[in-house]
Structure 1
Amino acid sequence: MDVSESIPLANSKPAARSWRLWVDGCGGFLILSGDRWTIGGAGPAGNSDVQVHSDLPRIAGTLSRRDDGYFWEIADATRPAELVLSGRPLSIPGSASLIFRHPSPLSHSAVLTLKPPHRFDGHVDGVILAAETLLMGSAADCHINVAHLGSEKVVMTRRGDRWMGKVVGETELSELTVGQRMEVGTVEMTLEKA
């Protein structure tokens, strides 16, 4: 039996909540919580969770996190949801190439990036599908690549609607105040509601 057929897509989990994270020297990221997100074209009538400036329909499909995997289902629903592999593009209609990455087996969070010339709405460089933690650093297992960190890593964790951050190896978490520029280790960032 196909794994994607054994787990229904419909669920009663809350809708995604979103933030924008601006990391100095690195870029901007849309952070989405939840376990199910719609992906579609950007525009005045666009209402998908992840909006792409391209030839995508308003709702191209749904990406969902179930157990230890991510599944993609095209909006026309003529075929079952497919397991998404890290480093591979989603099979979306149109010319955009949306790359999925699940960089760390220690976190259920994943990252979506686009190949140029397409871009995400909101002037962000990537979309983070946030679970319990995010990792920033220069290593391949990080959700946000901050090249100037060297061997230092910063972890962000969510507690309800609050985000906390610390340098890996330290014990004290600092709350990231929405709308205020913060410094965690040598990383300067601003978190805002999207």
Structure 2
Amino acid sequence: MDVSESKTLANSKPAALRWRLWVDGCGGFLILPGERWTIGGAGPAGTSDVRIHSDLARIAGTLSRREDSYFWEFADAARPAELVLSGHPLSMTGSASLIFRHPSPLSRSAVLTLMPPHRFAGHVDEVILADETLLMGATADCHIKVAHLGSEKVVITRRGDRWLGKVVGDPELSELTVGQRMELGDVVMTLEEA
């Protein structure tokens, strides 16, 4: 290994495991890649992937993706895993109501929406359990609802530790630079490591 290679390795950092996406006029989204996520309370000792300001235990349970289906498992493991259906709440213990949505059969990504008065830690509006592709637009098959888009849609895709996006129909993908405000069609957004 030469000097330039060793400097590159020394300056490189591991890929982010969590992102926040801020979409102007729409809200903030926590994006979590993977196949398995813990859900729990947002107290000072909270260590779960999805943290909720509520009466939940530090880890209430785990949501996992197996092929095209999602399953909820309580932390105590005394009960069997439950298949989670799109549009239904997770059967968590406590006062928080967390709605699961799998909007598009063309993407394995899903969305978690928390019903008021509870809120997610990190000031985000929804949590996206990301596979490789996310769709933004005004229609029901979109992961991120952007009402002002009309019929236009934006697709965001992950390749390794990079996020790329384009307006559906455009030939070229543009890289979303972390920390930089970016426009894709009528969508203005900023991607951050969380």
**Partner residue in 1 for 2:4:** none
Report how many residues are paired: 179
**Which residue in 1 is equivalent to 2:41?**
41
CA distance in 2, matches of 1:66, 1:171: 32
Deviations 1:45-82 (A, max 9, x none): 00000000000000000000001100000001111111
Q: Residue 148 of structure 1: SS of its match in structure 2?
A: helix
| Structure 1 unaligned spans of 5+ | 1-15
Deviation for aligned residue 1:17: 1.3
C-alpha separation in 2, matches of 1:95 and 1:43: 15
Q: Percent identity?
A: 83
CA distance, structure 1, for counterparts of residue 92 and residue 116 of structure 2: 16
Residues 160-183 of structure 1, C-alpha deviations (whole Å, 9 max, x = no match): 010000001111000000000001
Residue in structure 1 matched with residue 180 of structure 2 by the alignment: 180
Q: Within 5 A, what are the aligned runs for 1:27-106?
A: 27-106=27-106
Following superposition, the deviation at residue 89 of structure 1 comes to 0.1
Runs of 4+ in structure 1 off by over 6 angstroms are none
- Give unmatched runs, 5+ long, in structure 2: 1-15
1:166 aligns with 166
Inter-partner Cα distance in structure 2 for 1:68 and 1:120: 25
Alignment partner of 1:28: what SS?
Answer: strand
1-structure distance, mates of 2:27, 2:67: 30
CA distance in 1 between partners of 2:67 and 2:81 (Å) = 14
Which amino acid is 2:156 matched to? Answer: M
Alignment of 1:99-114 (within 5 A): 99-114=99-114
Task: Tell me the alpha carbon deviations over residues 83-135 of structure 1, each in whole angstroms, 9 at most, x when there is no partner.
Answer: 10000000001000000000000000000001100000000000000001000
TM-score computed with the length of structure 1 as normaliser? 0.91
Of structures 1 and 2, the larger Rg is shown by: 2
